[in-house]
Amino acid sequence: MNTGAGPEQSKDVLPVTPTARESVVTELQRAAGDGRLPLSDFSDRVGMALTADTQAQLAAATAGLPLAPPVGQAQTVSSIRTFFGNRRQIGRWQLPAALRIRALIGDVYVDLRDAVVNDQVIEISAVTLLGNLCVDIPEGVDVELTGFDVLGDRELRLNPVPRRPGTPLIRLRAYGLLGDVYVRTPTEGERPPSWWSWFRPSKW
């Protein structure tokens, strides 16, 4: 009895060539650019492609790839403002090449994990007075954090993995007065820190 691998199975376990890997990454970049993949899904799939050892593993990186974007275009948000209150930008939305954030006496929470991104460099300018700024970043996306805080702290906490090809570089210039800045790859269930917790716990 022949118990060896069949032709199709043998093909699946063949080593992955650099050309095949680059082709899959390019396909994923196109899918992210036309809105079929949010940033976190794109980063995860690129990570799968980069670590694939066999053709079957490489194919898994594009398995179930949407043929078209979800119904309804993701709304482009180029400016986030809040005065005497909190603002959350979460879910599926279009992140432009330049994003401006302004807040007075309130927290701003920006979640980039489900954002749709077309550009290779994203410039974010943020000024917060009496409030926290928290930006959640998918794994494998690099961030350059500049600016300063007055009577506040800042934290840059990204998972220690190399930047994944095709993912955008996030350049965040953040200036804060009496508030903290958090830029992080959050753990499961981790909530954004709230400046309002000094007065009312669990504001989010």
Report the helix count and the strand count for the chain, using DSSP H and E.
4, 12
Are residues 44 and 128 located together in one domain of the fold?
no
Residue of 95, 189, 81, 97 whose CA lies nearest to 133: 81
Are residues 88 and 144 located together in one domain of the fold?
yes
Q: Is residue 65 part of a domain?
A: no
Is a pLDDT exceeding 90 seen at residue 165? no
Structural domain total, the chain: 2
Are residues 99 and 170 located together in one domain of the fold?
yes
Q: For 45-82, how does the pLDDT look when each residue is reduced to its tens digit (9 = 90+)?
A: 999 998 899 999 999 999 988 887 776 667 899 999 99
DSSP helix/strand/coil, 78: coil
Are residues 43 and 120 located together in one domain of the fold?
no
More confident residue, 190 or 15: 190
Percent of the chain at pLDDT exceeding 90: 66
Are residues 55 and 83 located together in one domain of the fold?
no
Q: Is residue 70 part of a domain?
A: no
Percent of the chain at pLDDT exceeding 70: 88
Q: Is residue 121 part of a domain?
A: yes
Host domain of residue 14: 10-60
Are residues 194 and 100 located together in one domain of the fold?
yes
Structure tokens at 169: 């570089």
Residue of 125, 124, 159, 117 whose CA lies nearest to 142: 159
- Say which range, 100-104, 154-158, 161-165, has the weakest mean pLDDT: 161-165
Is a pLDDT exceeding 60 seen at residue 6? no
Are residues 159 and 107 located together in one domain of the fold?
yes
Cα gap 204→194, rounded to integer Å: 7
**Average pLDDT estimate for 163-181:** 94
Q: Is residue 171 part of a domain?
A: yes
User: Are the beta carbons of 104 and 131 closer than 8 angstroms?
Assistant: yes
Are residues 83 and 33 located together in one domain of the fold?
no
Q: Is residue 2 part of a domain?
A: no
Note the helical H segments in the chain: 7-12, 18-33, 39-51, 55-60
More confident residue, 132 or 203: 132
Residue of 82, 112, 80, 107 whose CA lies nearest to 94: 112
Are residues 118 and 170 located together in one domain of the fold?
yes
Q: Is residue 73 part of a domain?
A: no
**Average pLDDT estimate for 83-105:** 95
Phi, psi (degrees; rounded to nearest 5) at 150: -115, 115
Q: Is residue 5 part of a domain?
A: no
Task: Give the per-residue SS3 of 159-176.
Answer: CCCCCCCCCCEEEEEEEE
